[in-house]
């Protein structure tokens, strides 16, 4: 049966060169790239996938590519990298356990002519810039390196070094195979073409070394690159460079082929190292002064790499770069609005350009009335865009934070009218009684989508909610939410900042609206008896009780009085309520409905909510408590500060257990926010 793949191109060239020792290379890396070293083995990429859907391990990706690689975890005799893992079909599949593997043989004709490296793995190291591994037996050392040339192509280099005292004659084959994923193989003028039955994408396999021959083997083994015989003298090396390209039809294969042909592996690798060094340095050197320990540099490097692995270039429906919530979870291979706002703020600290693209991605899907879609996907035949709801209004916050970093007035000028239209959409379509306080809701009248619009899908405050019709295509819950109105208050202030930068007359009216809304928040949503902010009914005379993380959003937005903030702080720092092993979880630990394992938004700690809590404390001068909580938020989750373990979607606040999706972007983005100045 034929197999599925988007695009493959394999380029192989042979170069004679010397081989530097691993120790010297590590020393150079520390000297030339002092921040890059913090990313060493930050995530554990070891997996030999058992089948195309195996998600037991993590995958390394860069440059926005829709594919990634890992280290083989077993069978060192298979010389290469696991994968690639494709995020192009079926929401993520492995094309192969190892798409291209090296087979070395001596020219002697006897059963032991195959050069074996079984159990001879020396090291596997990952960095944010590249992957590398070393295998060695008594005669031969192999160094394997993988780096992304572009968002379409990954280069792999194998350096074969004779470490014996005698010359060795050998030949090499590059072989590979694919899973049962429906692909048709053909050969045209020495190039192997791969045509998918499920995609209009086309793949190519080719070599540029004229002394090599290529052959199709069968439908499970796609090609065999037979390299010319060669001799290695003692301490002499030969390089085999392979390129895998997965390219969408809107990009030019001819241009990419030219880029590959003109590439130099060392130049590409050094370029990636310099790029990552610059980004990591921007994070590590700008940490808060009391978080200078190496541990915090390493967790920043892990957060940076998490965002990198989820980065995707434009394709299909998507016209700008953006980040998945998690490539590792099959239903998160898309782009969500409030995830995007949070990703953009995290990205702004080291890559404002990518942050701006992330913002533009979602606003490409803005309706004429200002509505922003909840989530969008590259291929709507796999999953459709969700227009049933939007997400909490944090987009102006994100743009303002990006503007703080790079002062790009043209970007603000482009975004401002879109942001303003989205802001006032809430008052047009989500204010049922037109009293100036908004509600979450949906476009289709469904209660579940209205709860989704809050982002806190099954929070206990929505347990008894009902849906009300405002107008055609506009529905609200029968409650006014404190977090929504706190976000809108913050948006008015941030819009005023942007309007001032653009010299617009909106500043005065926005500040007046903000002052009025601030007073309403303080009066309607705050329960002086409990010392907490709650949602209320539409009339504003009944609190919807149950302490949740929405209670400190008024502090995050600077909308509370000093007295109110003091009372909220006391409850936040209470170990019986919110100051747990992983503090500031989504609801109070002493509530009867608290259930982190089954609750999703009924108990787990989501790091975005924890960040809002910490920032709220800082806004009111509670820096000691904020520092204490930050340390505990990072120390409490299992594996968060360890090498190898991925950053999770959320955490059990009592045990610290990582819950739900691995390699989660907004968790990483908020780790950056927790540790950075400003």
The tens digit of pLDDT for each residue in 514-530 reads 999 999 999 999 999 99
Phi and psi of 640, rounded to 5°?
A: -60, -40
The span from the CA of 260 to the CA of 22, in Å, is 27
Place of tokens 């995958």: 59
* pLDDT value for 179: 77
Element (H, E) at 469: strand 467-471
The span from the CA of 226 to the CA of 211, in Å, is 9
pTM over 0.85: yes
Helix (H, G, I), strand (E, B) or coil at 631: helix
Which residues have C-beta within 8 Å of that of residue 338, sequence separation ≥ 6?
A: 391, 392, 394, 455
* pLDDT value for 196: 75
Tell me the pLDDT band of 100, cut-offs 50, 70 and 90: confident
Contact 650, 599 (CB under 8 A): no
The stretch 38-55 carries a mean pLDDT of: 95
Whether omega for the bond prior to residue 84 falls within 30 degrees of 0, making it cis, is yes
The stretch 566-583 carries a mean pLDDT of: 98
3-state helix, strand, coil in the chain (%, to 5): 35, 20, 45
- Lowest mean per-residue pLDDT among 35-49, 177-191, 339-353, 553-567: 177-191
**Phi-psi sector, 344: left (phi>0), alpha (psi -120 to 50), beta:** alpha
Tell me the pLDDT band of 141, cut-offs 50, 70 and 90: very high
The span from the CA of 453 to the CA of 392, in Å, is 7
The span from the CA of 666 to the CA of 670, in Å, is 6
Contact 104, 158 (CB under 8 A): no
Tell me the pLDDT band of 189, cut-offs 50, 70 and 90: low
Contact 185, 192 (CB under 8 A): yes
Tell me the pLDDT band of 18, cut-offs 50, 70 and 90: very low
Contact 52, 86 (CB under 8 A): no
The stretch 348-358 carries a mean pLDDT of: 98
The span from the CA of 82 to the CA of 53, in Å, is 13
pLDDT exceeds cutoff 70 at 21: no
* pLDDT value for 195: 73
Place of tokens 């983005």: 669
The span from the CA of 370 to the CA of 388, in Å, is 14
The span from the CA of 505 to the CA of 51, in Å, is 60
Angstrom CA distances, 437 to 164, 340, 493, 535, 536, stand at 78, 25, 16, 11, 11
Give me the sign of the Cα torsion angle 428, 432, 434, 437: negative
The span from the CA of 552 to the CA of 571, in Å, is 10
- Lowest mean per-residue pLDDT among 196-200, 281-285, 379-383: 196-200
Which candidate, 89, 85, 38, places its Cα nearest to that of 663?
A: 85
Q: What does the pLDDT look like over 395-428, one tens digit per residue?
A: 999 999 999 999 999 999 999 999 999 999 999 9
Q: Where are the beta strands (DSSP E) in 209-284?
A: 213-215, 223-226, 230-232, 237-245
In angstroms and rounded to an integer, the radius of gyration of the C-alpha atoms of the chain is 27
pLDDT exceeds cutoff 90 at 5: no
Which CATH number describes the domain made up of 13-255? 2.70.98.50
What residue segments make up the domains of the chain, in order of their start? 13-255
The span from the CA of 603 to the CA of 127, in Å, is 34
* pLDDT value for 173: 81
The span from the CA of 7 to the CA of 9, in Å, is 7
The stretch 199-219 carries a mean pLDDT of: 64
Phi and psi of 525, rounded to 5°?
A: -100, -5
pLDDT exceeds cutoff 60 at 110: no
Give me the sign of the Cα torsion angle 522, 524, 525, 531: positive
pLDDT exceeds cutoff 70 at 28: no
pLDDT exceeds cutoff 50 at 9: no
The span from the CA of 410 to the CA of 608, in Å, is 29
- Looking at the chain, the whole-number percentage of residues with pLDDT higher than 90 is 77
Higher model confidence: residue 553 or residue 26? 553
């Amino acid at each position: 049966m034929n197999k599925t793949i988007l695009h493959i191109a394999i380029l192989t060239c042979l170069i004679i060169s010397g081989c530097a020792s691993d120790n010297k290379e590590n020393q150079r890396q520390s000297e030339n790239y002092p921040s890059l070293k913090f990313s060493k083995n930050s995530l554990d990429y070891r997996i030999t996938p058992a089948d195309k859907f195996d998600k037991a391990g993590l995958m390394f990706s860069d440059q926005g590519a829709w594919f990634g690689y890992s280290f083989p975890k077993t069978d060192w005799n298979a010389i290469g990298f696991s994968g690639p893992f494709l995020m192009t079909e079926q929401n993520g599949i492995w094309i192969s356990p190892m798409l291209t593997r090296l087979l070395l043989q001596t020219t002697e004709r006897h059963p032991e002519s195959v050069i074996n490296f079984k159990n001879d793995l020396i090291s596997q190291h990952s960095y944010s810039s590249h992957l590398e591994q070393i295998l060695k037996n008594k005669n031969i050392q192999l160094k394997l390196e993988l780096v992304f040339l572009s968002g379409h192509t990954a280069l792999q280099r194998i350096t074969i070094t004779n470490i014996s005292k005698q010359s060795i004659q050998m030949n090499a084959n590059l072989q590979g195979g694919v899973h049962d994923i429906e692909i048709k193989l053909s050969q045209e003028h020495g190039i192997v073409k791969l045509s998918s039955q499920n995609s209009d994408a086309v793949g190519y396999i080719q070599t540029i070394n004229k002394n090599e021959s290529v052959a199709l083997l069968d439908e499970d083994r796609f090609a065999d690159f037979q390299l010319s015989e060669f001799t290695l003298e003692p301490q002499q090396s030969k390089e085999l460079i392979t390129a895998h390209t997965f390219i969408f039809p809107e990009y030019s294969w001819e241009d990419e082929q030219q880029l590959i042909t003109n590439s130099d592996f060392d130049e590409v690798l050094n370029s990636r190292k310099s790029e990552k060094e610059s980004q990591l340095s921007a994070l590590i050197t700008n940490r808060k002064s009391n978080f200078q320990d190496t541990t915090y540099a390493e967790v920043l490097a892990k957060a940076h790499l998490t965002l990198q692995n989820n980065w995707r270039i434009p394709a299909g429906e998507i016209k700008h770069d953006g980040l998945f919530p998690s490539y590792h979870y099959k239903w998160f291979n898309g782009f969500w609005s409030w995830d995007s706002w949070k990703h953009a703020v995290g990205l702004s600290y080291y890559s404002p350009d990518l942050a701006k693209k992330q913002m533009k991605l979602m606003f490409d899907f803005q309706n004429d009335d200002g509505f922003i879609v909840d989530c969008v996907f590259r291929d709507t035949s796999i999953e459709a865009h969700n227009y049933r709801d939007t997400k909490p209004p944090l987009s102006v916050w994100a743009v303002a934070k990006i503007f703080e970093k790079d002062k790009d007035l043209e970007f603000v000028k482009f975004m401002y009218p879109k942001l303003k239209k989205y802001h006032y959409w809430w008052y047009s379509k989500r204010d049922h009684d037109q009293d100036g306080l908004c509600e979450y809701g949906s476009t289709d009248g469904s209660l579940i989508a209205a709860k989704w619009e809050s982002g806190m899908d099954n929070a206990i405050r929505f347990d008894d909610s009902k849906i009300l019709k405002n107008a055609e295509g506009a529905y609200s819950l029968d409650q006014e939410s404190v977090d929504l109105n706190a976000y809108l208050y913050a948006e008015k202030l941030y819009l005023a900042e942007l309007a001032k930068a653009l010299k617009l007359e909106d500043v005065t009216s926005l500040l007046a609206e903000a002052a009025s809304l601030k007073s309403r928040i303080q009066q309607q949503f705050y329960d002086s008896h409990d010392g907490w902010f709650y949602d209320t009914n539409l009339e504003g005379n009944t609190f919807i009780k149950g302490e949740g993380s929405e209670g400190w959003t008024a502090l995050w937005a600077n909308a509370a009085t000093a007295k109110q903030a003091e009372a909220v702080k006391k409850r936040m720092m209470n170990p019986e309520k919110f100051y747990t092993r992983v503090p500031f979880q989504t609801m109070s630990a002493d509530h009867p409905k608290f259930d982190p394992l089954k609750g999703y938004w009924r108990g787990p700690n989501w790091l975005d909510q924890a960040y809002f809590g910490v920032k709220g404390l800082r806004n009111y001068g509670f820096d000691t408590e904020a520092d204490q909580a930050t340390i505990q938020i990072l120390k409490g989750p299992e594996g968060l500060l360890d090498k190898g373990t991925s950053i999770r979607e959320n955490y059990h606040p009592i045990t610290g257990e990582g819950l739900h999706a691995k390699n989660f972007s907004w968790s990483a983005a908020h780790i950056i926010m927790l540790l950075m100045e400003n």
